[in-house]
Structures are given as structure tokens and as C-alpha cells.
Amino acid sequence: MKQLKSILWQSALVAGCLLSTGATAEAKATVNHTFEVGQGTFLLDGKPFVIKAAEMHYMRIPRPYWEHRIQMAKALGMNAVCIYIFWNQHEQQEGVYDFETDERNVAEFVRLCQKNDMWVIVRPGPYVCAEWEMGGLPWWLLKHDDMKLRSLDKNFMTAVGRFERALAKQLEPFRLENGGNILMVQVENEYGSYAKDKPYVSAVRDSLRAAGWDKTQLFQCDWSSNFTDNALPDLLWTMNFGTGANIEQQFKKVGEMRPDAPKMCSEFWSGWFDGWGTAHQTRPADKMVQGIKDMLERGISFSLYMTHGGTSFGQWAGANNTGFAPDCTSYDYDAPINEQGAATEKYYKLRDLLQQYSDKKLPNVPKAKPVVPVNEFVFNEFAPLYAPENLPKPQAVEDIHSMEYFDQGYGSILYSCQLPVTQQEGLLTITEVCDFASVFIDGQLLGRLYRGNKFENTLRVPALPKGGKLDIMIEAMGRINYSKLIHDRKGITDKVELCTRIKGAELTYNLKEWEVTLLPFDYDFMASRHYGALDNTADKAGYYKTTFKVSKVGDTYLDMSTWSKGIVWINGHCLGRFWNVGPQQTLFVPGCWLKKGQNEIIVMDIVGPAQAKASGVVTPVLDGLHREFLPKDGFRMETNSKNKFERSQLVGNDAAPGAK
């Protein structure tokens, strides 16, 4: 044990002393470091080195807070930072790259790590999972009907190669051979849970090397149960597992196959993520710390996923594949550094342990950012969601198409058509609802459908002796980020049918001749709606706006408990989604996005609030579950008719107006 601790202390000294002589963005390094796989250990500049990495995602942290979070990880006892690269953040339009705007400047994040003597592990995907929209893949890939994601599909691999080259160019100054601080780069991500396809994994490896990572240590991660399915002989193999796992068992198989290779847990899960409509997730601090101790005693490197989770601001929270289970906006993850960036009980317990494996006193824990309350305020302006002046010009199409067909990646989409005359009650079936639908006939709410409820895609329709106008508003809630279901198109993906009876015979109308209205997910659109004074009735779908005063700037948590479902913008920054089903009832508001004095807030609520008011509280509410607010399961009616008609084929009294 003493000998092993000596190696670990030596590795800490190497990390602290050698990295401080490395390059920064301001001055080129005079010393280039080496990192390689040695006999049972990693070697940094030829000396034994144990990686103690803190996973945190630059896109989930406001840019002004980046350095604070890096310093929090360093004070915890970590010597590296592990980051995912979210492809869909940097290439939101095909062929248009953004590595500079706000939180997208990944090179600046890596530079700040180097400034603070922290090594970096880069995980560029192309797929990353991370409870992030579509696992990090850009939505525009789904514009191609025949696109096969995470495969050797020519179009997919061409897009991957193009992006990896663009990313590598940004990070070129930070390669070790250029005096930088990037130790390793990951090839794909947990591919064994998706498919068995070594040629594809090999192609991603080759793409990374061709982009410029040919001198960098490449590795692949997976689970102990499936890593051999795609394991490549020339890559380092690392394992992923969480709190409470048996360390010996997790590394048993890889140890038998590669007894002399260094071992690493590339994701040791400190907690877990939350999904809308499910219980808040936590994991015991003592078990997490014991797991890390067990690894350090064996000289096993690790990356703690997450050390700081942060927030999936905007539309970037993804969805799990258990049916359809959208993730909450908060990515607190029950991590040692909480969503707001403050140290938790887990932090101090882990810090005590990691101090034992450091040859010098750890840095002081940085002060947490101040948290301030904001007095309750009420909204005084309102723009109705369905008012004609607030709806963009519709597009006319014959058949139903998903949102991607109309070149929109996020937000909401409104489908409208004329219903036929019917004399009896019918059944409306939407195939399929992606993800939350509000259905109206002649402006009256028929019902709401939620993809997360099993079988929910049907609603009863009353007799329509004069026909009627059907409106279906679909809110996209985040694409599935795990499994084959990442091919997750939004809106209505197939068709809408109305089943009814005519003189005892069952008929199904495949509805046609649609008008489609796009409602994008951006500040300019929200701010430019036609606002008027808000009357006493607040429970309306629409856009709510006001200003609120801040006398002292600091972080706060926006209490959204009186609202129903939608998104929030403050001073042009999107805080993310809210939903009264919980468990999350507050939204994190970074103080760096606020200003002393007046601040603008816009809330889009697609259902309507009970009360149009809000306040800032100093403690988040992440465990307020209210499943009673979920839409009830849709009505199901068995049908066995083989008589399916297009509307244009119907004749007689029940035909749609204008049908031939």
C-alpha cells in the first residue's frame, strides 16, 4: 500500500510540476510532454501516472463560470478534466461550424484547464449519449430518410470526418506534441450497447487519426459485459460502471486479456440523471468514495462522471429510451459539485480521500458563487399562442411529414386540416406523436397526448355534422439519446386517421391536405410575438412577458411551480424546459446572465399557468414529483375494418367538403 501511494504521489507531482511548464494560448511551450501506456500503469514523461479526472461539460456551464468549476475540480484533488464534445452544438446547420460563440469555444475551455495545471481527456464521439439531445448527433442527419446513424453509411461517415477535422483544427495547439495538455482522445462511445460492428469503430478511429490525432493515445470505453464485441487491438480499453460496483469483477475480464495494461474506469457514475415524471435520483456519498478508494488502492485510473453535472440549458436535454422518457433540464446528477457549482457532502468526503493520495496540500476550495433570492413578480404582457397574428405563415402539403422535412430541428409544429362530415362518434389516431400533442377541433381542446404514456396516440372525436377544423400542436421534447431509437424524428412521423361509421360500416379516413406552421425555439421568435396587456385570466397557452428587478446580482433558482409546461428565456438566455409533473420545479438562473436593475423574462407555456408569477429562491426543488399532471392514457378502440379510404375517395353525405 505504501509503495502504491508513493507512485500516486509521484504522479501528482508530475501533474503539478510538469504541466505548469506547458503551453498556454498566450505563449508557446518550451517543453513537450509524453503520455503512453506502460507496464501496468500510464507513463507521463516516462514516470508512473494515475489519472484522476473530473468529468464536466463546457456546454452545461455558463462560460464566465468555466474557470471556477475547473478550480473546484482541482481543489477536489483531480489532475485532469474529461469533456464530451457535442457535435450538434458546433454544427447546428450542415457544414456551418461554430467554435467561438459563448459556451461553444471549446479551445478556450481547454486553455483554461491548462492555465490551471489540469490535463484534458477529449471524447469527441461522434456519438456521446450524455442525456443530451440525440446523444450529441445533429438533427439535420435525420433530414435524410435513408440515413443510418453510427454506421458505415457513406453520408454519415462523410459528415463525421468533416466535423472531426474541424474540431481537431481547433484543438491542435493543445496536443501534447505541440506543448498542450490533451492526454487522450476517445473513439466513439459505449458502442457495445448499440451494435457489434468493428469495421465501423475502426473507421471512426481512422477518421480521428486522419484529423490529426495520430500521435495521441486513443482509447475506447464500454461495459465489462460487452467490451469485447467491438474492442480493437491497437486501442486502450477502459470500463464504465457506477457507485456500488465490484471493482475486481469489473476489471476481471480485461485483466485476463491484457494483464500488463493499465486499468481505467472512464466513467465512474457519481449519481444519476432525472427524467420528467419520475423520482429524483441520488446515490450514497460513502459508496462513491469507497469505490474510488478501491480503485486508487489498485492503481486504477478513473474519471468521475459527473464531478459537476451543470444544466442542459435550452433545448439540449435528451430523452431516455425506456419507451420515451425525456430528461429534466437540471443535470445536477447528485454530483460532488452541485448544479450551481457549490461543494456538497460528497465533495468534502472525496476531497478527504484524495488528499491522502497527494504529496502536497490540496488548493483551498474556491468560494461558491453567491445565491440570492428574487422577490415575487407577476407577468403583465401576454401573446396568445394560437392567435393568427402570432402564427407564422403556414405551408401547404398533401401528406403528413415530420418536423425535419420542413428544415426545423427544435421547437413546436402545428398541423391543421379540415375534417370530414361525420354522423357518429369517431376515433382520431396519430401515428406517431413526437412528443407532446395538444389537439383541437374548431378551436376547442379535444385532449392532449404524450408519447411517454404507453399506447397514447388516440382520442375520441364527437360526431361532426358540419365537419370541422383539426389543429394538432406538437412540442418536441428532446431526441432519444440512447440505443437504436436515436433515429428520433419530431412532430408527426407517419399519418393521422379518423375512424368512424357510415350506415353501420366502419370507415377510416387517412387525413390529407395539411397546413403546417413552424414555431421555432429561439429568443427572436418569442420576443417578436404580438404582446398585449395580460388580463386576470392566466391559464391560457401563449407567451408571457415582464421585467423583474434585481438589487444584488447572484445565482438564483426560478420557482416555476405555478406554471404548466414550456420554456423560459431571461435576458436572451434560454434556461430550458419546465413541466409541472416534476420532479424539477425550479430552473437554475446563473447570476452572470442577470444584471443589476431590470431584467427581461419571457415564458412560453403551451398549456397555461395556474398563476402567471415567479420568484427566485435560494434552494432548488429537484424532488417535487406530481404525476397527476401527466395526460391520462389515450382512449383505445379495437378496429378490424379493411375499408380504408383517402378523403378524396369519399362520396355522399359524409364526404369532406370539396371531395370529388
Using CA atoms, how far apart are residues 388 and 199, in angstroms rounded to an integer? 53
**Coil/strand/helix, residue 62:** coil
CB 354 within 8 A of CB 50: no
Using CA atoms, how far apart are residues 660 and 655, in angstroms rounded to an integer? 8
How many Cβ atoms from other residues are within 10 Å of residue 258's Cβ? 16
Using CA atoms, how far apart are residues 629 and 498, in angstroms rounded to an integer? 27
Q: Is the pLDDT of residue 235 over 60?
A: yes
Q: Assess whether 188 carries a catalytic annotation.
A: no
Q: What is the pLDDT of residues 594-610, one digit of tens each?
A: 999 999 999 999 999 99
Candidate from 244-253, 307-316, 639-648 with smallest mean pLDDT: 639-648
pLDDT band with cut points at 50, 70 and 90 for residue 535: confident
Q: Is the pLDDT of residue 634 over 60?
A: no
Domains present along the chain, CATH in parentheses: 2-355 (3.20.20.80), 374-384+530-629 (2.60.120.260), 388-520+635-649 (2.60.120.260)
Q: What is the pLDDT of residues 89-102, one digit of tens each?
A: 999 999 999 999 99
From the candidates 91, 103, 188, 190, which is the catalytic residue?
A: 190
Q: What is the pLDDT of residues 499-509, one digit of tens each?
A: 998 777 899 99
How many Cβ atoms from other residues are within 10 Å of residue 3's Cβ? 8
From the candidates 267, 404, 432, 456, which is the catalytic residue?
A: 267
* E-only strand ranges, 110-263: 119-123, 182-186, 217-222, 236-242
Q: Is the pLDDT of residue 641 over 60?
A: no
Q: Is the pLDDT of residue 338 over 60?
A: yes
User: In 356-414, where does DSSP find H-type helix?
Assistant: none
For the chain, give the mean pLDDT. 92
Using CA atoms, how far apart are residues 79 and 52, in angstroms rounded to an integer? 5
Q: Assess whether 345 carries a catalytic annotation.
A: no
Using CA atoms, how far apart are residues 594 and 598, in angstroms rounded to an integer? 9
Q: Is the pLDDT of residue 5 over 50?
A: no
What is the distance between the terminal CA atoms of the chain, rounded to a whole angstrom? Answer: 87
pLDDT at 165: 98
pLDDT band with cut points at 50, 70 and 90 for residue 9: very low
pLDDT at 504: 76
Q: Is the pLDDT of residue 356 over 90?
A: yes
Q: Is the pLDDT of residue 169 over 50?
A: yes
Q: Is the pLDDT of residue 236 over 90?
A: yes
pLDDT band with cut points at 50, 70 and 90 for residue 455: low
pLDDT band with cut points at 50, 70 and 90 for residue 30: low
Q: Is the pLDDT of residue 645 over 80?
A: no
Higher pLDDT, 49 or 3: 49
Looking at the chain, the whole-number percentage of residues with pLDDT higher than 90 is 88
**Coil/strand/helix, residue 309:** coil
For the chain, what is the total number of helices (H) and then of strands (E)?
Answer: 10, 34
CB 176 within 8 A of CB 216: yes
Q: Is the pLDDT of residue 657 over 90?
A: no
